Structure 1
Amino acid sequence: MAKRWTAQDVLDLARLYQPAGVLTAAAVLDVFSPLLAKPMTAEELAGRLSADPRATAILLDALTALKFLSKQDEEYSVPEDVAGLLAEQSADNVLPMVRHLANCLRRWAELPKVIQTGKCAETGLGFRGTDADRADFIGGMNTISRPVATGVIDKIRPLKFRHVVDVGGGAGTWTIALLRAVPRARATLFDLPAVIPIAGQQFAEAGLTDRVNLVGGDYYTDALPEGADLAWLGAICHQNSRRQNRDLFTRVHTALTDDGVIVIRDVIMDSSRTSPEAGALFAVNMLVATEAGGTYTFDEYREDLREAGFDEVILVHQDEFMNSLIRARKT
């Protein structure tokens, strides 16, 4: 049944940028970390942040209204549950992802222009700079993947592989989950050279350094490391056009051993491209952020994999967002 919209529904939806903007600005400025150390007035915090006192006070009052902060007299403090999520001191903080979403928000603000021109948003550098933006993106992917990785990997059991290549593997979250699922296997993580040190730190903390090779390169232009019997493509295909994906699948096919397997983890749309809802919205995110990326149907993936030389293409798991799984075998 179609939703019956009211004027209030429309206006409430259109205003949702406001709390998102307040939260992401606070994350980018790192408001919560100093307030965890001790309560402060707006003027004191502005001094710590090299920010304008009046503007800082307005931001802090909005954060208090949203229940992210507490205010007593003129001092602001951060509740324990919020600090666990948004202060640098917490090992479980989600700051990288929130900061990445701040950059997404800047791009989405350009959506009318993007729709008109067909070209992705041109927003320039983020507030924190190129290196920090990259670290936030990689860290953000780790933040959302780490809690679910083991459960998603379980969807493709029984797992039998000797060597997995994780293409565009980022921080190594999924490589770690795969290695833990198959204790005698080895892995190669392939990603841009600037990402490799981030992955190296994660493998060291996981105690898996001796089971992984870290290879820097660009999967758009460079040959992939050879010799693996499993290729894992986790949430990278949506960054590409279908032509780019066919080229990538062909290079994966070349790199795999005979009878090797490719597994794709990504958004899989239905034939109408309107479901799942999160996937339809994520296609817009790819529109504003990439030159040709998008979200694709299973039929499109099957066609492109077969063209690259794969067969036995199976939709192993259908998810409501990013964790759908497709498996195919090299022929």
Structure 2
Amino acid sequence: MPFYQSPQDISAFDAKFEAQKIAFAPISFQVARCLLKFGILEQIDAAGKSGCLLEEIQLSTQLSEYAVSVLLDMGLSMRLIWNKDEYYHIDKIGNFLLNDDMAKVNLNFVHDVCYQGLFELEASLVEGKPKGLSVFGDWDTIYPTLSELPEKVKQSWFEFDHYYSDHAFGQLLPLIFKSDPKHIIDVGGNTGKWALACTGYNSDVNVTIMDLPGQLNVALKNAADKGVASRVNGFECNLLDQSQAFCPEGDLYWMSQFLDCFSKAQILSILQRTAQSMTTQSELCILETYWDRQPFEAGAYCVNATSIYFTAMANGDSRMYHSKDMLKLISQAGLYVDEDIDDIGLGHTLLRCKLKP
């Protein structure tokens, strides 16, 4: 990743401006969200080349002249919009903020899930606990309580999670089924989207989802609704309980955007117990977004930012990893990487692992 290997070529003047953007970043974020929430960017975009007057925006939003003007002024400074002869026009950044699905998903996730809790990032770093999670409840980690989160928070969480995984499904299914697995163990299967994708792709495969009771209930209901309840089973398991063995007799063990939810020590335990459940014919497929494997700087930025969600909101000690860290843990667990494929979906990497001889 060349953009991390040398100092950025930027003037001192521009660097100082970037520092001010960081200082005011929470304000910029909320202004951008309000410009979207009140339909202001959408109205300006729809006006096309003719643009919009402040009075027109005020009339459509029912906000005061003051409220509209402070949002528009900051929008100008953020390069979301531009103004000529008192008419407002959308700029390229504003266009992407309005129309890019990734920007929408990321913004909603940060606002609904992370924003309030990030005030406790400092305490989370010091204590190694997700202190920001207290804005939603008195919980140790976010995972057992996903189904209990406020509806809008839960919606944004799952939209964020599924957005990145779903983009990879089309490429992944042929790769996964090239070994013709008959029984897939979906470790941390969440709502069952992968299990349903597998049963839809292959009419013979059976999938066992390993997860906590709350997630399993949702996943099995989704399987029943899709008419594949006979091929999707649940294996209730607290994956952090080192005394709990994993589901045996799997041809393929599947972990998608899963191991980033745990600390290195926890990952090692999970991988070791997976290896103990595998045979010489089994394989383990790990799908993750490693920050060092991203093809573009924007991808690495999003991945590293997501690590801070884990710190303050999820569990306090997990993150989006460097691929070398994961490869080392895989080896320590008695496994080796038989196949390593980058650039799947939105910057995902697939590691196909087998037991060491």
Q: How high is the TM-score relative to the length of structure 2?
A: 0.65
- The answer to whether residue 317 in structure 2 is matched with residue 292 in structure 1 is yes
Instruction: Tell me the amino acid that sits aligned with residue 327 of structure 2.
Output: R
Rounded Cα–Cα distance in structure 1 between residues aligned with 2:107 and 2:253: 26
Rounded Cα–Cα distance in structure 2 between residues aligned with 1:166 and 1:6: 46
Instruction: Tell me the amino acid that sits aligned with residue 102 of structure 1.
Output: D
How do 1:85-104 and structure 2 match up within 5 A? 98=108, 101-104=111-114
Task: Provide closer, same or farther for how the CA distance between residues 60 and 246 of structure 1 changes in structure 2, counting only shifts above 3 A.
Answer: closer
Q: How far apart are residue 120 of structure 1 and its match? A: 3.3
Maintained 8 Å contact 1:309/1:330: yes
**Secondary structure, aligned partner of 2:207:** strand
- The answer to whether residue 267 in structure 2 is matched with residue 245 in structure 1 is yes
CA RMSD of aligned residues (A): 3.8
**Secondary structure, aligned partner of 1:103:** helix
| 2:253 alignment partner, one of 212, 231, 240 | 231
Task: Provide closer, same or farther for how the CA distance between residues 204 and 13 of structure 1 changes in structure 2, counting only shifts above 3 A.
Answer: farther
Rounded Cα–Cα distance in structure 2 between residues aligned with 1:190 and 1:248: 12
Rounded Cα–Cα distance in structure 2 between residues aligned with 1:294 and 1:2: 25
Rounded Cα–Cα distance in structure 1 between residues aligned with 2:253 and 2:215: 19
Rounded Cα–Cα distance in structure 2 between residues aligned with 1:118 and 1:14: 25
| 2:218 alignment partner, one of 198, 207, 212 | 198
Query: For 1:40-67, what per-residue CA distance to the aligned partner results, in whole angstroms no more than 9, with x for missing partners?
Result: xxxxxxxxxxxxxxxxxxx799623343
Q: How far apart are residue 11 of structure 1 and its match? A: 3.6
Maintained 8 Å contact 1:279/1:321: no
Instruction: Tell me the amino acid that sits aligned with residue 67 of structure 1.
Output: E
Instruction: Tell me the amino acid that sits aligned with residue 113 of structure 2.
Output: N
- The answer to whether residue 171 in structure 2 is matched with residue 171 in structure 1 is no
Task: Provide closer, same or farther for how the CA distance between residues 138 and 199 of structure 1 changes in structure 2, counting only shifts above 3 A.
Answer: farther
Q: Which residue of 1 aligns with 2:180?
A: 160
Maintained 8 Å contact 1:150/1:177: no
- The answer to whether residue 27 in structure 2 is matched with residue 2 in structure 1 is no
Rounded Cα–Cα distance in structure 1 between residues aligned with 2:351 and 2:231: 26
Maintained 8 Å contact 1:228/1:256: yes
Rounded Cα–Cα distance in structure 2 between residues aligned with 1:223 and 1:116: 33
Equivalent pairs counted in the alignment come to: 279
Q: How far apart are residue 130 of structure 1 and its match? A: 6.8
Instruction: Tell me the amino acid that sits aligned with residue 300 of structure 2.
Output: P
> Any unmatched runs of 5+ in structure 2?
1-6, 45-56, 64-103, 138-144
- The answer to whether residue 149 in structure 2 is matched with residue 132 in structure 1 is yes
Task: Provide closer, same or farther for how the CA distance between residues 300 and 318 of structure 1 changes in structure 2, counting only shifts above 3 A.
Answer: farther
Q: Which has the higher contact order (CA 8 A, sep 6+)?
A: 2
Q: Which residue of 2 aligns with 1:51?
A: none
> Any unmatched runs of 5+ in structure 1?
25-58, 77-93
Q: Which residue of 1 aligns with 2:231?
A: 211
Instruction: Tell me the amino acid that sits aligned with residue 284 of structure 2.
Output: I
Query: For 1:119-176, what per-residue CA distance to the aligned partner results, in whole angstroms no more than 9, with x for missing partners?
Result: 4334414299971358444465235433542233345562421100111110111222
Maintained 8 Å contact 2:35/2:41: no
Q: Which residue of 2 aligns with 1:17?
A: 26
Rounded Cα–Cα distance in structure 2 between residues aligned with 1:129 and 1:263: 25
Q: Which residue of 1 aligns with 2:342?
A: 317
Rounded Cα–Cα distance in structure 1 between residues aligned with 2:187 and 2:39: 42
**Secondary structure, aligned partner of 1:223:** coil
Whichever structure has more helix as a proportion of its residues is 2
Query: For 1:288-313, what per-residue CA distance to the aligned partner results, in whole angstroms no more than 9, with x for missing partners?
Result: 23232123233322222222221244
Bigger radius of gyration: 2
Q: Which residue of 1 aligns with 2:306?
A: 282
Task: Provide closer, same or farther for how the CA distance between residues 73 and 228 of structure 1 changes in structure 2, counting only shifts above 3 A.
Answer: closer
Q: How far apart are residue 195 of structure 1 and its match? A: 1.2
Instruction: Tell me the amino acid that sits aligned with residue 227 of structure 2.
Output: G
Task: Provide closer, same or farther for how the CA distance between residues 165 and 180 of structure 1 changes in structure 2, counting only shifts above 3 A.
Answer: same
- Most deviating of 284-293 and 170-179: 284-293
Q: How far apart are residue 3 of structure 1 and its match? A: 4.8
Task: Provide closer, same or farther for how the CA distance between residues 7 and 205 of structure 1 changes in structure 2, counting only shifts above 3 A.
Answer: farther
Task: Provide closer, same or farther for how the CA distance between residues 286 and 207 of structure 1 changes in structure 2, counting only shifts above 3 A.
Answer: same
